[in-house]
A and B are shown apart, each in its own frame.
Chain A
Amino acid sequence: MDGDAAVIRRMRRGDESAFDEFVTKYYPAVLRYCMAHTGCRDDAQDMTQETFVRFFGSMERYRHYGRAANYLYRIASHLCADRYRHGKAMTVVPIDSIPEPAAPHPPDLDELLCVRAAIDGLPEELRETAVLYFMQERKLRDIARILEIGLPLVKYRVRRARLLLAERLREEET
């Protein structure tokens, strides 16, 4: 029995420390995933929180087959997809309202912005797969389960995303 199964069993028995353990374990990964989609820390935190709230709200119906992370990614994926559909991909704020940074810009800021732009430039379905494969380093089978698509389609999307990302990052380098 994997560790998550024991933690989930403890949560169902009302052990509060199990909640702490579970959320602490998966919070950073889900936050990174949401950050990759939103590009905004506050929005990503809200979506991460919403992911866990939905997970625990439906936990009675959840059947653990060894991949709690996949289920969390699936919820986060749906939240991100809804967000894009409602046109909230990036939080736009007036430039005058942004305060001067206390610390100097990181030297690789341009590169980070290029990567960000490259991700955002991908079609939605490819972006989703790219984030899960390249950033979250999930296995192809896990990605198939999270996105509820077939393995061949996952492989196709990874190939396409790799091509497009490589092309765009090469353009930025030159």
Chain B
Amino acid sequence: MNREDRRIREYFSRLQESPQRDASQAGLRRTIERSKDAYCDAQAQESLSAAEFLYRQGGYIRKRWWLAQGLVLLGLWFLLGSADGGDTPRRMLGAGGPLFAVLALPELWKSRNANVLEIESVSYFSLRQIYAARLVLFGVVDLTLLSVFAACTVASGRGVLTQIVLQFLLPCVVTCCICFTALYHAPFLSEAAALSACLVWSVIWLQAVSCDEIYRAVSEPLWYGALALASAYLAFCIYRGQEGCGRLWEKAKQEGTGGCLWNS
């Protein structure tokens, strides 16, 4: 820095040292308060992008169920490796499919079990958006897990794709149909009842695939047709459920009878 600069800076510093130019503490406190208000106002006006909304909803989902689903698929993969052929892989996949689907039940039923529907319905985002976000997240994660499982199983020679689609995916989709029907369209059913229905279905399916006569009597196109039908029903079920999200369900305790009130 040259002499001229030093001189000028000295003049400027005297300007700043003037006792009437101290930073006012009151001004500082006022500025801090107004700054906080400005930030809060700006936050209130900012709306989340779709990705941010999904990310935040993802934060509320307990990851242990996804972990459990992953472990089911991993266990299934190992078991398929040690299977001795015959109808054993069929039974394993048939048991794994419904199990994979019911592990999503706790998170999907969480809001109803905790009676938070009323709170969610008055949140900044609509119920439909919240539930749609949860379904999208579950769909994406489950699809990823299933794709990895299918790829690893086929690549390692432990199964063929058609086997996975018919033996695993079909019972899985039907289980999802039962779950969503119970969740959206049968308010009188509890989570335990839905789970029991899924278990009954699982037993029926295992019985059907274990019996060669029944299994071979149904041709492959028919199995694919059943899968398509189940998938279509699942999509319809979810769509109707999302449409009806605006209804609040209250359980009213009536003397000795119990009952449900529907508020539309």
Contact = CB atoms under 8 A, between A and B. Distances in A.
* A in complex with B: yes
B42 interface: yes
Which one of B9, B15, B31 has the highest number of Cβ atoms from chain A below 10 Å of its Cβ?
B31
Contacts of B38: 52-54, 56-57
B15 A45 contact: no
Interface residues of A, number: 39
Given A31-B23, A45-B24, A56 B8 contact: no
28 contacts: A16-B36, A19-B32, A19-B35, A23-B28, A23-B31, A23-B32, A23-B35, A24-B32, A27-B27, A31-B27, A35-B16, A35-B21, A36-B15, A41-B24, A49-B27, A49-B30, A49-B34, A53-B35, A54-B38, A60-B42, A111-B11, A111-B14, A115-B11, A134-B8, A134-B9, A134-B12, A162-B5, A169-B7
Per CB-CB distance, the 8 closest pairs between chain A and chain B, nearest first, are A56-B39, A45-B27, A56-B38, A28-B23, A53-B38, A135-B12, A57-B38, A49-B31
A168 to B, nearest CB: 10
A47 B5 CA distance: 28
A94 interface: no
B263 interface: no
Contacts of A165: 8
Contacts, number: 95
Given A36-B15, A53-B35, A57-B39, 5 more contacts: A32-B16, A35-B16, A41-B20, A57-B41, A59-B39
Contacts of B8: 134, 162, 165-166, 169
A67 interface: no
Which one of B9, B16, B30, B38 has the highest number of Cβ atoms from chain A below 10 Å of its Cβ?
B38
A90 B39 CA distance: 31
A156 B15 CA distance: 25
Given A60-B43, A115-B15, A52 B35 contact: yes
Interface residues of B, number: 30
Interface of B: 4-5, 7-9, 11-12, 14-16, 18-21, 23-24, 27-28, 30-32, 34-36, 38-39, 41-43, 46
